Every structure is written in C-alpha cells, then in structure tokens.
Chains A and B, each alone.
Chain A
Amino acid sequence: SQKIEQNSEALNIQEGKTATLTCNYTNYSPAYLQWYRQDPGRGPVFLLLIRENEKEKRKERLKVTFDTTLKQSLFHITASQPADSATYLCALDGTGFQKLVFGTGTRLLVSP
C-alpha cells in the first residue's frame, strides 16, 4: 500500500542547532516533493519544492534533499530559532498531477 511516513514524535532541539526532519514514502513515484510549515490553528504554508531530478535545494536556512533510490527526503533547518517551532509536513504528488498527498507531519520544538 502507499504510505508517506514522518516521525510522529516531536523533535526537541536547542536554539542554534540544526534540525533534521525525515519523510519516507512507499509505492509512490513522485515527480516532486514539497515541504510545508503549519502553525496551530493555521493552514499549511509552502516552504520548498524539490523535483525528482534534483538532489538538494536550499532557501535561506532551509535545505531539502531528495533521494529517489532510498525514497526519502530530509528537511534541515540550520541555526534553528524558537520561532521555527511548528509542525512540518511533507507532501508529494499522488494520482494526477494536481493532487497533493501529505504525510502526518513532525512537530519541531526549539528551546532557547
């Protein structure tokens, strides 16, 4: 069966450290993978998209890698700040180009 798995346990790190979140998928062949941030009571906000032919993408303190052999994406936040505390969702294209399939999200807590 098709699955997108993210760590369901919250990730607790100290301010200034690098946070690394994992997204694994099974029985999908996505053309791209996206990462979103979601704050409590708010809708997801798009952060980064990486295509299947890209190994790595960066945006300011964010970095995403995409390994189609391992069927895994890693999302890194360097020099993390308490304001980075949120739930981070990965999403990939499911059946039909326009449909997004989301993982369950990982909650990140950055303490001062």
Chain B
Amino acid sequence: ETGVTQSPTHLIKTRGQQVTLRCSSQSGHNTVSWYQQALGQGPQFIFQYYREEENGRGNFPPRFSGLQFPNYSSELNVNALELDDSALYLCASRPEGGSVHEQYFGPGTRLTVT
C-alpha cells in the first residue's frame, strides 16, 4: 500500500457535465501530480501541485484544473466533460525533498463519460 487514496473508485458522467476527483496523500507529501490513463495507454501527465500552487502542466486544456489543500489532499476538476475524457485518473504524491522516483501512486478513479 502506498498510503495514497483516491475517491470515488468509479464514476459515470454525461457529456457536458463537471466532475471532481479527490486524492489524499501521506503526511509530509507536499507534491502531488495527476495523470490520465486511457485504456491500453500509459499515464499522461496533467499537472503538478507543490504547496498548493500549480508548478507544472502537461498538454491538457484549461477545463482540467486542480486544487491542493494544506491537509495533503487534492482535487482534480474537469469541466464540460467529453467522451474522450473517459479514462483512469491517477494521482501520485512525493515527500518534501524527495527525488522524482519516490512517487507513490493511488489506485485511481475510473471515469466513464457517456
């Protein structure tokens, strides 16, 4: 177990709706990254937060946004859902001062957009 939890486990939404996914990291893990993993593909980097500020973003539109809270939890929000947003969404956390290989992934949230 990595100590990273995500909720919900599964979610079904309709195109055009909005969704919020949640992640809870271990104490002391100040960096959290979010990834999107489509079926049969590797995870794709969405963005990263460090101490509640976004400090890196992948090739995703602004309707993907996030928040990080002081209690080591974070959120991924997606507005105006599209069918292609159907994927496994993973969060990964890293301790303060940890090297990048110390990323601990959660089990993911499976989002289905119909």
Contact = CB atoms under 8 A, between A and B. Distances in A.
Interface string A66-101: 000000000000000000000001010110111111
A103 B37 CA distance: 11
A43 interface: yes
A45 B1 CA distance: 10
B101 A42 contact: no
Q: How large is the interface on A (under 10, 10 to 19, 20 to 34, 35 or more residues)?
A: 20 to 34
Contact of A102 (B4, B42, B102, B110): B42
Contacts of B31: 98
A44 B44 contact: no
Q: How large is the interface on B (under 10, 10 to 19, 20 to 34, 35 or more residues)?
A: 20 to 34
A104 B40 contact: yes
A89 B105 CA distance: 13
Interface in B78-108: 90, 92, 100-108
Contacts of A102: 35, 42-44
Given A89-B42, A98-B56, A103-B42, A43 B92 contact: yes
Given A32-B101, A43-B4, 8 more contacts: A4-B42, A89-B43, A98-B55, A98-B56, A99-B48, A102-B44, A104-B41, A105-B42
Interface of A: 4, 8, 32, 34, 41-46, 49, 89, 91, 93-94, 96-105
